[in-house]
Amino acid sequence: MTALHSPFSRKLGAFVALSGEELSALERLHGRRKSFAAGRDMVHQGQVNQSAYILASGWVCSYKLLSGGTRQIVDFQIPGDFLGLRSVLFRTADHNIEPVTRVEASEVLASDLLETFSRTPRLATAVLWAASRDEAMVVEHLVGIGRRDAKERTAHFLLELGARLKLVGLGTALEYSCPLSQYMLADAMGLSAVHVNRVLRELREDGLVTFQQGEVTIHDLDRLVTLADFDKTYLDHDGPLLK
Amino acid sequence: MTALHSPFSRKLGAFVALSGEELSALERLHGRRKSFAAGRDMVHQGQVNQSAYILASGWVCSYKLLSGGTRQIVDFQIPGDFLGLRSVLFRTADHNIEPVTRVEASEVLASDLLETFSRTPRLATAVLWAASRDEAMVVEHLVGIGRRDAKERTAHFLLELGARLKLVGLGTALEYSCPLSQYMLADAMGLSAVHVNRVLRELREDGLVTFQQGEVTIHDLDRLVTLADFDKTYLDHDGPLLK
DNA sequence: ATCGTGGACTGAGGCAGATCAGTGCCAGTG
DNA sequence: CACTGGCACTGATCTGCCTCAGTCCACGAT
């Protein structure tokens, strides 16, 4: 697969119109392809001189561990997402990265990344753009945990996931497959797994959305969007913002 | 005040060793100085073609409104912080920005910012660094709201604020002044104002920290750090990371 | 002087969601 | 085959935090 067709290039291209030269610089950035088994952390909190990765297939989650032994999942990454940018920029990882499924990813060496930035500066801007979008997702996540109740939060979460997957061609607005267990949802949404289970049942009984056997099916998009107060503008936009 | 001495330049310099030329490009970036009254929003959700700002003095908060009328404060900004980067990159603001006190800030036009990035690319990398640090703070905030109880969360919040203020010379590790009302703390921490009040009293009665009349005084740093599970590495580091 | 306003602070009562302690259903695996 | 471990799911109980409904300042405006 060339960078020209990689989901990552496509994503950056949505922010900054990329020249042929920039596209091939992106292509060279994709270093060695690596494979990771589900459940075994790719990166640990505190590790130094980590590489970053561009996710080709599979799902991963980024989380932080607390002293009490609980964890908070900050975000899930899906194919086309960039992993561990902060770990590279700060030389030491401030969070763990765990593959949720088997994962294929291209390693990006810190030195290559910084050199690419200096030689093709517009790519630095493009990556800044992508990082800002990630931050917007974390912010939305924060708002959800802080001010939405469990049902709204879960609805919002499932809608966001659907929108993201649709953007990379891994599902439709109404249906997608999702390898996350209820335990992981709980760790992501700041709930207990028990409560996630009950909330999913309620959403199902309300005829809004079903999440069973790894498949999410949205039955009533409008009502779900209203319940969740979901506004997808932070995920998407029309055409490159920088010509 | 020249950019050479502005807190913002100092902050970026902590990430990327800046040349004289880069420093003066930064200086030129500081556009018109503007002043804002407390309480009147500088930026609204949904506004397009906003400028960004570099905060010179005063405090502001960034928050999102929910349909229910509640709000979640995402972060507070203090002098030296960059405001509204996302609003500029995405052309439309996804959050509100409200001055907490009277505020002095330099306006940064979107076009100037992008032009600066293309002419002095290392500044794009530096801003990427700063944005990543902001994201790290939001992530820490997310973890707190998701997995820390009200007392730990409040302790963590006060410690983080102290560390940030110390970095820009506005307080010591043990004492600083803080213009935030308990209502704002509540909106930031995902609690009710009533509960914030009780938690602050408990922290005071435990001899850990006092927050009264706009002054925060930490009485027992060690126990507070332990309670909050506070690790300040995400805020600070030694020397520029990019020479 | 008094009124109004905004913030700190308090008590009582209710509820969302946590915790505890399970059951049942697979898919491995030795 | 029985045994194990992971996940979905459930009922009972408990609790952290919210909501409501106030009081009591300190202040600036009239």
Q: Convert the pLDDT of each residue in A109-142 to its tens digit.
A: 999 999 999 899 999 999 999 999 999 999 999 9
pLDDT at A31: 78
Co-location of B123 and B191 in the same domain: no
Co-location of B37 and B64 in the same domain: yes
Structural contact between residues B95 and B63, judged by C-beta atoms closer than 8 angstroms: yes
> Which residue bears the tokens 């950035």?
A29
- Asked which of A106, A134, A162 is the last residue of a domain, the reply is A134
Residue B143: closest C-alpha in chain A: A72
Would the CB atoms of B229 and A68 count as touching at under 8 Å? yes
- What is the rounded average pLDDT for all residues in chain B? 92
Co-location of A94 and A152 in the same domain: no
Co-location of A128 and A173 in the same domain: no
Which residues in chain A, range 152-191, keep a C-beta under 7 Å from any nucleic strand D atom? 181-183
Q: Rg of chain B over CA atoms, in angstroms?
A: 18
Q: Is residue A241 part of a domain?
A: no
Is a pLDDT exceeding 70 seen at residue A242? yes
Distance CA B196, CA A123 (A): 44
Co-location of B41 and B111 in the same domain: yes
Residue B209 buriedness (CB in 10 A; 0-12 / 13-18 / 19+): buried
Q: Is residue A90 part of a domain?
A: yes
Co-location of A13 and A117 in the same domain: yes
* Domain count across chain B: 2
At A5, the pLDDT band (50, 70, 90 cuts) reads low
Please report, in angstroms and rounded to a whole number, the separation of the first and last CA atoms in chain B: 26
DSSP 8-state assignment for residue A40: S
Q: Is residue B241 part of a domain?
A: no
Instruction: Give the nearest partner residue to B122 out of A118, A189, A234, using CB atoms.
Output: A118
Residue B107 buriedness (CB in 10 A; 0-12 / 13-18 / 19+): middle
Strands of B215-218's sheet in order across: B175-177, B215-218, B209-212
Co-location of A59 and A27 in the same domain: yes
Q: Which B-chain residues 53-72 have CB contacts (< 8 A) with chain A? A: 64, 66-68, 70-72
Co-location of B158 and B116 in the same domain: no
Is a pLDDT exceeding 90 seen at residue B59? yes
Co-location of B166 and B132 in the same domain: no
Q: Is B150 on the interface with A (CB under 8 A)?
A: no
Q: For strand D, which nucleotides have at least one atom less than 7 Å from a protein CB?
A: 6-12, 16-21
Co-location of B85 and B159 in the same domain: no
What is the b/e burial string over A132-164, where b = at least 16 CB atoms within 10 angstroms of the residue's CB? bbbbbbbbbbbbbbbbbebbbbbbbbbbbbbbb
Q: Please choose, from the candidates A98, A104, A87, A105, the residue with its C-alpha nearest in 3D space to the C-alpha of residue A40.
A: A98
- Asked which of B137, B170, B185 is the last residue of a domain, the reply is B137
- Domain of A156 in residue numbering reads as 148-234
Lowest mean pLDDT among A10-14, A17-21, A175-179, B95-99: A10-14
Q: Which pair of structure tokens corresponds to residue B70?
A: 């509640």
Shortest-distance nucleotide from A149 CA to C1': C16
Q: Is residue B225 part of a domain?
A: yes
Q: Is residue B224 part of a domain?
A: yes
Q: Please choose, from the candidates B32, B133, B120, B17, the residue with its C-alpha nearest in 3D space to the C-alpha of residue B81.
A: B133
pLDDT, tens digit, for every residue of B64-118?
Answer: 999 888 999 999 999 999 999 999 999 999 999 999 999 999 999 999 999 999 8
Q: What is the CATH number of the domain that holds B211?
A: 1.10.10.10
> Which residue bears the tokens 């004289």?
B20
pLDDT, tens digit, for every residue of A54-78?
Answer: 999 999 999 999 988 899 999 999 9
Q: Is residue B117 part of a domain?
A: yes
DSSP B77-124: E-TT-EE-HHHHHTSB-SSEEEESS-EEEEEE-HHHHHHHHHHSHHHH
The helix or strand, by DSSP H or E, that contains position A212, with its residue range, turns out to be: strand A209-212
| Whole-number Cα distances in Å, B11 to B3, B15, B79, B139 | 11, 7, 11, 20
Residue B174, SS3?
coil
Residue B65, SS3?
strand
At A3, the pLDDT band (50, 70, 90 cuts) reads very low
- The spacing between the Cα labelled CA in B3 and the C1' in C27, in angstroms, equals 64
- Asked which of A108, A134, A160 is the last residue of a domain, the reply is A134
Q: Is residue A50 part of a domain?
A: yes
Co-location of B165 and B220 in the same domain: yes
Q: What is the CATH number of the domain that holds B107?
A: 2.60.120.10
Q: Is residue A242 part of a domain?
A: no
Distance CA B150, CA B152 (A): 6
Q: Which pair of structure tokens corresponds to residue A37?
A: 């088994």
At B5, the pLDDT band (50, 70, 90 cuts) reads low
Co-location of B126 and B187 in the same domain: no
Helices (H), strands (E): how many in chain A? 9, 10
